Structure 1
Amino acid sequence: MFDAKLRPLIDPVLNRIGQGIAALGIGANGVTLAGMAIGTAAAMAIATGHIGLGLVGILLNRLLDGLDGAVARATRLTDFGGYLDIVADFVFYVGVPLGFAFAAPANALPAAVLLATFALTGTSFLAFATIAAKRGIETSAHGRKSFFYNTGLAEGTETIAAFVLMCLWPAQFATIAFVYAGLCAITVIQRTLNVWREFG
């Protein structure tokens, strides 16, 4: 919901940093893989009860997720880079709830519900992108991307906010997970209605 609104504010800064990284000879895919490794480490830290360390890893992961695109824009966008970026994103999105599930047995059910809605939002997102690519539809609302980014109530910014809240108040993980799962379900309905309206 807020991703497109925040882009004009954060992209200029990320692009400048991305140009500096590219000048050092570091490629976008390397930044993506580094972010995925840090995100995985964050999930493992949460699983072993080191929530504060996990929060640091979450924030670093998201920073690198923004910088890999900036480096790509400073050099060149590739289909493989777009593929690797979305896979790394979902490694992160799956890893954090799993970390909380391993941290406390009571978190298992809300984590499972949240992961189920993540699967549905991911499917709706990628299915929309596939149809948009087939029809030659493009958008720059989320910056220059390798494929179409469809908006919704629950996007990257909201997911980061939910994960940060989980780390700050781990005892409220279940409540936060169930509420955010509901927002994800609404997002799937939104995208389905958009597809029906635009392509039906």
Structure 2
Amino acid sequence: MLDAKLRPLIDPPLNRIGHALASAGISANMLTFAGLVLGLSGAAAIAFGHVWAGLALIIANRISDGLDGAVARVKGPTDLGGYFDIVADFAFYVSIPLGFGVLAESNTLPALVLVASFVLTGVSFLAFAVIASNRGEETDAHGKKSFFYSTGLAEGTETIVIFIAMCVFPGWFAVLAYGYAALCVLTVIQRSALAIIQFSD
């Protein structure tokens, strides 16, 4: 919901750094995999009780994720890079709830519910992208991407805000997880309604 609105604010500084990194020979894929390592390390830190370290690694993951796109815009996006980027994103997204699930037994059920909602959201997102691509539809609301990005209530920005809130208030994990899972389900319903409107012939 907020991703497209934030792009005009975050893209200019990211693009400047992206130009410098590209000039130094750093590729978008290198940043994607570095970000994935940072994100998974954050989940592991949370699982072992180092929640504040986990938060720092989550933020580092998001910075790396923004920079890989900036470098890709300089060097030109590739299909392989787009594939690695989305796989790394979803691996990161599901790892953080799992980290909290390992941290405390009381977190297990809400973590599973949140991961399940992420799976549903991801499936709706990717299915929409495939059908939109088959129909030749395009959008630049989220910047230039390797495939069609459909807008939803729960997107990357909202997910990171929730992850930060979970790290700052770990005792509220269950409430935050259930609440965000509900928003993810609403996103699937919203995207499905949009598919009915957009894909009906």
Partner residue of 1:19? 19
4+ residue segments displaced more than 2 Å:
none
TM-superposed deviation, 1:76: 1.1
Aligned residues: 200
Uncovered stretches (5+) of structure 1, i.e. residues with no partner: none
Partners of 1:29 and 1:155 in 2: CA distance = 22
TM value normalised by structure 2 = 0.99
Which letter does structure 2 place at the counterpart of 1:20? A
Partners of 2:190 and 2:21 in 1: CA distance = 37
Partner residue of 1:157? 157
Partners of 1:133 and 1:79 in 2: CA distance = 13
Residue 42 of structure 2 is aligned to residue 39 of structure 1:
no
Alpha-carbon RMSD across the aligned residues, in angstroms, is 0.4
Partners of 1:58 and 1:37 in 2: CA distance = 10
Uncovered stretches (5+) of structure 2, i.e. residues with no partner: none
Partner residue of 2:71? 71
Partners of 2:105 and 2:130 in 1: CA distance = 38
Which letter does structure 1 place at the counterpart of 2:133? A
Partner residue of 2:188? 188
Per-residue CA deviation, residues 99-143 of structure 1 (Å, 9 max, x unaligned), is 000000000000000000000000000000000110111110000
Which letter does structure 1 place at the counterpart of 2:181? A
Q: Secondary structure at the match of 1:143?
A: coil
Residue correspondence of structure 1 range 51-200 to structure 2 within 5 A: 51-200=51-200
Partners of 1:134 and 1:63 in 2: CA distance = 32
Q: Secondary structure at the match of 1:63?
A: helix
TM-superposed deviation, 1:37: 0.3
TM value normalised by structure 1 = 0.99
* Sequence identity percentage: 61
